[in-house]
Amino acid sequence: MFLMAIIGIAFFLILILIAIRFGIAKQKLESDRENQPVIHTSGIYSIVRKSPREDVKAMKPSKEEISQYLTGQNVDIHEIKLSESDKDALISSWETALENSIKEIEEGDNKGLEFYFYDFKDNDEVCKKFLAKGSFITRQEIYKHPELIPPFHLGCRCILRCHHGIEKVKDTTAIGMRPFLQDGKVPPLPEWKHILKI
């Protein structure tokens, strides 16, 4: 009987020591978590994206290159005559469209948006051959392939828009949106030298 009491007390003390050890370990773990940055405990990561400005400008023709090309061009893809003011309008439209696309992406980056879709200001016979309105691309795809940023050709009517969700997208085929890239491959894009008079 005495032996049973001693074994019971020993067992009780072992349980108390185990409980104390678990308590200390738990307290240490909680202390370590408090000392870690919030990013690790919350699981929320803030991604700072690099603007596509430099990459896309390195890929697209410069104002001077476009101007030089247009000096030898007299008609657009429909054989419509191009005046000097038409050529100036094409250059200005190119620069404006490129800047608008870059700003759209930069604003989307500030809001943490991941999807962008293609839309059209007007009918574009060059772009509609390879691109459907409402086709979308991801920010990662833009990072890997800055050539996906419009404009695609002189007089391009294609624009890039942030996708905020179907309820905030107006006048698009958002319900039927589909990825532009298939298997991550960029389809042949139109050559920038195709001219569509503005």
Domain ranges of the chain: 2-42, 53-176
Is the previous residue joined to 187 through a cis bond, with omega within 30 degrees of 0? no
Q: 115-138: per-residue pLDDT in tens?
A: 999 999 899 999 998 888 889 999
Q: How many whole angstroms separate alpha carbon 102 and alpha carbon 57?
A: 10
Question: What per-residue confidence (pLDDT) applies to 12?
Answer: 73
Question: What per-residue confidence (pLDDT) applies to 173?
Answer: 47
Question: What per-residue confidence (pLDDT) applies to 40?
Answer: 37
Question: What per-residue confidence (pLDDT) applies to 6?
Answer: 79
pTM: 0.70
Q: How many whole angstroms separate alpha carbon 79 and alpha carbon 186?
A: 30
- State whether residue 117 is helix, strand or coil: strand
Those residues of the chain that have pLDDT short of 70 are 11, 15, 19, 22-23, 25-48, 165-176
Q: Where are the alpha helices (DSSP H) in the chain?
A: 2-35, 38-42, 53-59, 63-71, 84-111, 139-144
Q: How many helices (H) and strands (E) does the chain have?
A: 6, 3
- State whether residue 128 is helix, strand or coil: helix
